Amino acid sequence: MRPADLLGSEGPFSKSLDGYMPREGQQALSNAIADVIENNNVLVAEAGTGIGKTYAYLIPVLLADKKTLISTGTRHLQDQLFHSDLPVVMKTLGIASKVSLLKGRSNYLCLHRLSISTDQMFLTSETKDHIQKLRSWGKSTISGDISEMSEITEDDRVWPLVTSTVENCLGSECPDWDDCFVVKARREAQESDIVVINHHLLLADMSIKEEGFGELLPSSEVFIIDEAHQLPDVASRFFGKTISSRQLNNLVNDSIAEHLKDAPDMYEIRDVADDLHVAVKDFRLALGNNNQRDAWFNIVNKPALKQMRESLQLNLKDLADVLEEAAERSKGLEQCYQRCLLILNNLTAYGKEEDSAETEQQGYIYWYETFTKGFILHMTPLDIAALFKSHQQAQAASWVFTSATLQVGSDFNHFANNLGLENYQQGNWVSPFDYQQQSLLYLPESLPEPSSYDFTSQLIDKAVPVLQSSGGRAFLLFTSYRALNEAATLLKSKIDFPILVQGSLPKHQLLEKFKQLGNAVLLGTSSFWEGVDVRGEALSCVIIDKLPFASPGDPVMQARLDAIKRTGGQPFMDYQLPQAVIALKQGAGRLIRDVADYGVLMLGDPRLSNKGYGRLFIKSLPDMPITRDIADVKNFFSIRDKSKKSVSLAETIEID
């Protein structure tokens, strides 16, 4: 039986799942995926919101009975797939495949690091309390997956102390190796038919193989890449290298903890580690102001930075010398010594080419970020297409890349070129939602250019009548924190609805509060443009301030644009525009999440109307009626809020 039949009105899903509705697009997509899996082909598939792409790929995967890796965009989606979607589909089909969930090592409790955690520096009373709770939990948990510990937030400072990294893992010489949760999870993955991972782990595995080391993941016959639009950016990070203050401070803390445990007589380890801790702070100060992202060649010749870099290197060398002597005492100390050497070598070699063009011709972009107390030095590949292509083609496997946002207009070339994909099949399975009935696109008139000093204030003036009509229930999505903060200040005196601002609470708490209030206005930036699912009337309006073009001042963006110029390309049309189109599609996709949803999408950027490329953005959005008249917005909400039924807009709105 074909997947489409199983998903049809006479299939098992229709008979066993309450409220199930067959969808032609889902059935067609599932058949296409089945054919690709059978014939070892590559498919790039855009699946509109509401298609049900998860079931569309899970059914052919289970029927094929091949070793499969399913990679998702986030850990949250991993958990949903493993704990919810897969069990339902397996039960409905009566298939008992062995499935496992595998996350990166930082998602599992490390028993060795837990045992030495109280020897770390600068522990607060709260952190000490969390460590005690984790010691109790560590004795009872089967998986060691830290997501089980809901009483400790996922961004708590305790987690780096009790989880491992590639650098600080002791490997098979760890005294807790036999009970290691990471080892158990990987062993289970090797023995499973289907393994659910995320893009970070997929790319980490690829980067390890690229460097000639083993593998984290089992060899597979089928790769399903969900939320595939995120993959190029994740790949850029994982095929690059970093040196960070966190790495250095973790080395300091681990060296002291291992010294206290296995070499308490070697006091010089503590002294030299303390000196390195100070050198890290001095180097951070020499980098300059907070919250910078800039090219390394712009600051590499600053005298103070040169001096602090030399000091940092000398302190690393001093620590390496004392750790070399202590390394024979324990595996932990030996491993700290190896980490110290690696960081020292990377720092010594980092960004030696002062000419940016020379650096880029070698294929890497050197840039840095600063935070209040920290920094990261990045070495990012200019182009990951060749790297990804070599790995993808080395696998005698089927590949399915799917997302709601892969096309630019009706073209997949931008996505495929970024990953070096060749000889691939493609298809667009449009959303089953009736956007003509359920939505309205409002393009307000008379707004100034986005670069105008008063753009945000005038945007808010245009947004207030929309918010009054929607009764709050809105996301306001911004392309910068500056605009977000200005808008938050302006709105407080203009509307009576609850205002929630990104950063005031953790993201998950902010979303929960938004849903509970039912009439709130939430202001967010990039992290709220995708991966946020609010169904029902709580979200009935999305307002986006500007087209989401990445800042040309960003060092990675600028290097890529320069490289496109050198090869005779058009940076704007070839890169900036496609990236912005995909980002806008993600933001707009927050509005309609269910067959019963309805709402207004307001786009404030006048370039949609007065620039030729504006048509490409409109073409890439769902097929919504368009208006420039606020009266149509008021009428839209008035009709739907009274009747809660779909009413054709054709009679009430003059469509542009």
Residue 656 has a pLDDT of 38
DSSP 353-364: ---HHHHHHTTE
Instruction: Supply the pLDDT for residue 56.
Output: 97
pLDDT of residue 206: 77
**Mean pLDDT score of the chain:** 90
Residue 357 has pLDDT above 60, yes or no: no
HSE-CB for 102 with a 13 A CA cutoff: 31
Asked whether residue 650 carries a pLDDT value surpassing 80, the answer given is no
Residue range 258-279, pLDDT digits in tens: 999 899 999 999 999 999 999 9
User: Looking at residue 640, what is its pLDDT?
Assistant: 79
- Return the beta strands (E) in 78-160 as ranges: 99-101
CA distance 654 to 656: 6
Predicted pLDDT of residue 644: 58
Are the C-beta atoms of 506 and 486 separated by less than 8 Å?
no
Residue 499, helix vs strand vs coil: strand
Instruction: State residue 506's pLDDT score.
Output: 82
Tell me how far apart the alpha carbons of residues 141 and 179 are, in angstroms, rounded to a whole number: 11
Name the residue among 242, 224, 221, 377 with its Cα closest to residue 300.
377
pTM: 0.88
pLDDT of the residue at 92: 96
pLDDT digits (tens, 9 = 90+) for 503-538: 898 888 899 999 999 999 999 998 899 988 899 989
Domains plus CATH for the chain? 3-98+192-238+384-429 (3.40.50.300), 105-181 (no CATH), 241-381 (1.20.120), 435-643 (3.40.50.300)
How many whole angstroms separate alpha carbon 303 and alpha carbon 325? 34
pLDDT of residue 27: 97
Note the pLDDT tens digit of each residue in 20-38.
Answer: 899 999 999 999 999 999 9
% of the chain at pLDDT higher than 70: 94
pLDDT at 166: 81
**Distance linking the first and last C-alpha atoms of the chain:** 45
Note the pLDDT tens digit of each residue in 552-603: 788 888 888 888 888 888 999 999 999 999 999 999 999 999 988 999 999 9
Q: Poorest-confidence range of 145-154, 273-282, 331-340?
A: 145-154
* pLDDT grade for 209, boundaries at 50, 70 and 90: low
CA atoms within 13 A of residue 131's CA, in its CB half-sphere: 22
Coil, strand or helix at 596: coil
Q: What's the pLDDT tens digit per position in 61-119?
A: 999 999 999 999 888 889 999 999 999 999 999 999 999 999 988 899 999 999 988 87
